[in-house]
């Protein structure tokens, strides 16, 4: 077994995270650059150190989970969600069950809540937001962001839903209250069901083809019939019908 394969096995035993389901070249490169920076010679040394150094373990988690996010990331897609997808979903159900899977530091579920608030009172908006990374979700719950996360946010939305504090922006409590954060590993935890809308963006690209295949099927089962699966702008599904989806719009798939 190679040094990296042994590391994968050790990490799985310690954390339940299966690195074998992430694209190997990319993950190996990221982790190698971290252990080299820390002065270790190989994955074995790195794992041993991680075992009794909590801070190093957190750095590992931080390196493997890429937390980059942004409000209204790929704004045109969110416009499609607002103008076309949500109105159509609301024709069927007055209340929507919505999930932001791999929500990172919260920009995505808060964007969803902001958009939903245009259609219903905030008291009726509810978004489930999950991620494997506790640290990212702790930041999500704080709801404080640097200006660069808000690049795509329209001025009126910024005024209405954020409070400027020095050089930072804080999401208002009324929006914060609508989002429930929960730790969840997409590759090993069970999925809830009956969702009207699942947003899972910019995480599937890190997974192997086999892992993606499994996940498409699981997302399909997690949706109500007619429910929508919204993916990232580099994550087009090439053969959606295989997974029980039809194309609703670019990067939006409807459960058949
Ligand atoms: C690049 S961010 C995407 C954030 C947001 N969805 C967006 O598009 O802006 C990727 C997120 O996937 C999470 N992630 C990675 N592996 C995961 C897994 N197995 N289960 C759940 N979340 C995972 C990471 O922790 C990270 O927060």
pLDDT tens digits for 188-219? 999 999 999 999 999 999 999 999 999 999 99
Ligand 1 center to 107 CA (angstroms): 12
Convert 150-160 to b/e letters by CB count within 10 Å (16 or more is b): bebbeeebeee
Q: How many residues does the chain have?
A: 256
Between CA 27 and CA 58 the distance in angstroms is: 16
Residue 131 pLDDT grade (very low, low, confident, very high; cuts 50, 70, 90) = very high
Residue 139 pLDDT grade (very low, low, confident, very high; cuts 50, 70, 90) = very high
Q: For the segment 33-53, what is each residue's pLDDT rounded down to a tens digit?
A: 999 999 999 999 999 999 999
Average pLDDT of the residues in 178-186:
98
Other Cβ atoms within 10 Å of 1 Cβ, number: 8
Give the per-residue pLDDT at 114: 98
User: ∠ CA(111), CA(226), CA(230), 5° rounding?
Assistant: 35
CB 80 within 8 A of CB 89: no
Question: Which residue has the CA at smallest separation from atom 7 of ligand 1?
Answer: 69
Ligand 1 center to 130 CA (angstroms): 9
Residue ranges around ligand 1 (CB below 6 Å): 65-70, 73, 102-104, 107-108, 131-133, 136, 184-187, 201-203, 232
119 compared with 166, residue with greater pLDDT:
119
Residue 126 pLDDT grade (very low, low, confident, very high; cuts 50, 70, 90) = very high
Ligand 1 center to 23 CA (angstroms): 14
Structural domains of the chain ordered from first start: 3-64 (no CATH), 75-255 (3.40.50.150)
Residue 145 pLDDT grade (very low, low, confident, very high; cuts 50, 70, 90) = very high
Please report, rounded to a whole number, the percentage of residues in the chain having pLDDT higher than 70: 100
What average pLDDT does the chain have? 96
Give the per-residue pLDDT at 98: 98
By the 10 Å C-beta count (0-12 exposed, 13-18 middle, 19+ buried), 49 is classed as: middle
Inform me whether the pLDDT recorded for 167 exceeds 90.
Answer: no
Convert 32-43 to b/e letters by CB count within 10 Å (16 or more is b): bebbeeeebeeb
Inform me whether the pLDDT recorded for 1 exceeds 90.
Answer: no
């Amino acid at each position: 077994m190679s040094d990296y394969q042994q590391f994968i096995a050790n990490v799985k035993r310690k954390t339940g995270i299966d690195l074998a389901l992430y694209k190997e070249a990319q993950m190996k490169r990221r982790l190698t650059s971290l252990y080299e920076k820390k002065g270790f010679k190989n994955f074995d040394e790195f794992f041993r150190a991680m075992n009794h150094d909590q801070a190093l373990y957190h750095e590992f988690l931080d390196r493997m989970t890429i937390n980059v996010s942004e409000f209204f990331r790929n704004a045109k897609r969110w416009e499609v969600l607002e103008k076309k997808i949500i109105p159509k979903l609301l024709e069927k159900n007055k209340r929507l069950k919505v999930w932001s899977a791999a929500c990172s530091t919260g920009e995505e579920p808060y964007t969803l809540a902001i958009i939903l608030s245009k259609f219903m009172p905030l008291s009726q908006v509810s978004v489930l937001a999950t991620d494997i990374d506790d640290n990212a979700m702790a930041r999500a719950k704080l709801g404080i962001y640097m200006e660069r996360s808000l690049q795509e946010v329209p001025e009126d939305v910024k005024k209405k839903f954020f409070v400027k504090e020095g050089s930072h922006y804080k999401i208002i409590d009324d929006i914060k209250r609508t989002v429930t954060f929960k730790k969840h590993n997409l590759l090993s935890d069970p999925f809830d069901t009956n969702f009207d809308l699942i947003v899972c963006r910019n995480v599937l690209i890190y997974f192997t083809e086999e892992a993606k295949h499994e996940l498409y099927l699981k997302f399909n089962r997690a949706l109500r019939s007619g429910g929508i699966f919204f993916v990232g702008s580099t994550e087009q599904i090439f053969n959606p019908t295989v997974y029980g989806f039809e194309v609703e719009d670019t990067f939006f798939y409807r459960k058949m």
